[in-house]
Amino acid sequence: MELRIHDKTFSSWIDRGEIAATVKELAVKIRADYPNQRLLLICVMKGSLVFFSDLMRSLDGEMEMAFISASSYQGTHSSGIVQVHARSELGIKGKHCLLIEDIVDSGLTIQALEELLWKEEPACLDIATLLFKPDAFKGNKRPKFIGKEIPDRFVVGYGMDYNELGRNLPDIYQLKL
């Protein structure tokens, strides 16, 4: 199926069934690595909101949640500058923290957030991302938990946007070239 968002055409790509299976698998992997710990899941707003809410409900055991709002994208490309706009007040010192990202592209966003949050002395801080674009990644450490690797194509849906639209689509769509 194709749809129009602003000036661009997108075609359907990863359906809700595949997304749900990927999220459940990821939750099991995460819990296997932290069998008894209380986890603090940190949602990187706004893109991760939908993934975050599904992931937390698939995760067994104790968890807390926090929110941080960051942005770097303009249109279909990274601006190269990461801005942190706001965050919830829950402290992270001494906690087992997991940053939850919708998609890791250049890696700049997670790098900036990791630098910021490590200063607050968490017990540990790892990254879980639904999607990962290895060909676009410029960082030196891959996210610890990856749902699915994808080619370097711009996507929308399941929380992810093109200039703020498309976040409410239940499936993931890719930009038509």
Chain contacts with ligand IMP (rule: CB under 6 A):
44, 47, 72-73, 78, 101-109, 154-156, 160
CB of 35 to Mg ion, least distance (A): 28
Of 27, 42, 102, 158, the one binding Mg ion by CB under 5 A: 102
Nearer to ligand IMP, 52 or 154 (CB): 154
Nearer to ligand IMP, 63 or 156 (CB): 156
Whether 105 is catalytic is yes
Tokens linked to 71: 């942005």
Among all residues, whose Cβ is closest to Mg ion? 47
Q: Is the separation of the CB atoms in 132 and 103 below 8 Å?
A: yes
Round to whole Å and give the CA distance between 119 and 152: 32
Q: Is the separation of the CB atoms in 34 and 56 below 8 Å?
A: no
| Binding residues for Mg ion, total number by CB under 5 A | 3
Is residue 157 involved in binding Mg ion (CB under 5 A)?
no
Q: Is the separation of the CB atoms in 70 and 117 below 8 Å?
A: no
Q: What are phi and psi of 114, to 5 degrees?
A: -65, -45
Among residues 7, 15, 60, 105, which one is catalytic? Answer: 105
Round to whole Å and give the CA distance between 91 and 73: 27
Residues labelled catalytic: 105
